[in-house]
Structure 1
Amino acid sequence: MNIYSTHCLKYLHDFDGLRKQLSSFPQLPAEAAAMFLQGAKGTAWSVPSQHGQFVLVVHQDKNLCALYAKTLPAATAQAMFEKTVGKAPEPFRSERKRNTSEKGPDGVKSTVAYEWSTDKSPRKPLFALTTTTSKNSVAQGVATAAIGH
């Protein structure tokens, strides 16, 4: 969660600042980035970490940051994610919007999502974590942070 907190959360209201912060990291080639961008315009970086392989994606047209983890202990990641975004800082309120888990032929896919809101702004930070136990998945975890309406 450290990479997510120090990049996606820290720069949630400053995506240009996030891009500048990431400029020292290796940028993925367009073909590799396309797999993570899923049709959206944006940029993907490989983020070095002692904890594994991570790719951080920033969309160009939306205020969205996504962190992909190649391998991830799902239960530990979800507990850390909920601790990070489950309680919003003042003046925000945190509300869980989704908590699903579905078993498929390849493993279990789980998603948890939170929205932070305040009476003073229609713009609401949205946070989600999706994990899978599939060994065949491109990433076993993806955490997103976005500004919604």
Structure 2
Amino acid sequence: MRSLAVLFAAAMLLPAMPARAAPADGHTFFIQLFASTCMKHYTHLEGLKDAMAAEHAAELPAEKSGFFLGGQPGKAWVRSDSDGVGYVVSLRDDGICAVFAQKADTVMVEQQFNAIASTSPKPLVAEKLMDQNKMVETGPIHTISYGWSAGKSDNTQLTFTLTTAVSPDAPVQAMASLVRTQKDH
């Protein structure tokens, strides 16, 4: 229970983390959207729903949101950057929050994701959990994952995962997610 309290306390620090100044481009918007939705609201997921409503984000109907929810119950919203490029923010009822980009500069997205996920606010400790390349039907994909926890004695962690696909034929070129999970010991 103590580790859960530490995670929640650290969550209060996330909105206060300094924003990384960068030009207004797709990969920056993607990471900023992930930070301002999934990272900001993970301790109070109803807050994400409220924020999407306040921003008048278009909610996808059930028949279109299934892909972004992995077939699970939840909600998905469409967001656009200043150039009108579309992104999807999804929140499953089981607490998995994700942001999807149909088109992305995968190298830049990976660099920015690594910058925010590889360093945790104190007292949490960041640990790289996965760095895997795979070949799928549409081409190569790369998955990177980090865990934030209160240390070795903590049984839970925040798991940050990014999957990128370089192929323009991929249905999604970038997907970042955040969920609280049990640690593998």
**Same fold per TM (> 0.5)?**
yes
Separation in 2, partners of 1:142, 1:18: 18
Residue 46 of structure 2 is matched in structure 1 by 16
Structure having the higher Rg: 2
User: Aligned partner of 1:46: which letter?
Assistant: V
Aligned to 2:150: 118
- Deviation of 1:58 (Å): 0.2
Q: Shift of the alpha carbon at 1:106?
A: 2.9
| Structure-2 residue corresponding to 1:7 | 37
- Higher strand share goes to which structure? 1
Work out whether 1:93 is the aligned partner of 2:90: no
Is 1:138 paired with 2:171? yes
Secondary structure in 1 matching 2:66: helix
- Over the aligned positions, Cα root-mean-square deviation in angstroms equals 1.5
| Residue 64 (structure 2) aligned to one of 32, 52, 73 | 32
SS of residue in 1 equivalent to 2:60: coil
Q: How far 1:72 moved relative to its partner?
A: 0.7
- List gaps (5 residues or longer) in structure 1: none
**What is the percent sequence identity of the aligned residues?**
23
- Tell me the CA shift for residue 18 of structure 1: 0.8
- The residue type equivalent to 1:96 in the other structure is K
Corresponding residue to 1:66 among 98, 101, 105: 98
Runs of 4+ in 1 over 4 A off after TM superposition: none
What amino acid does structure 2 have at the position aligned with 1:15?
L
Structure-2 separation of matches of 1:93 and 1:136: 37
Partner residue of 1:77 out of 104, 109, 113: 109
Give TM-score scaled by structure 1 length.
Answer: 0.93
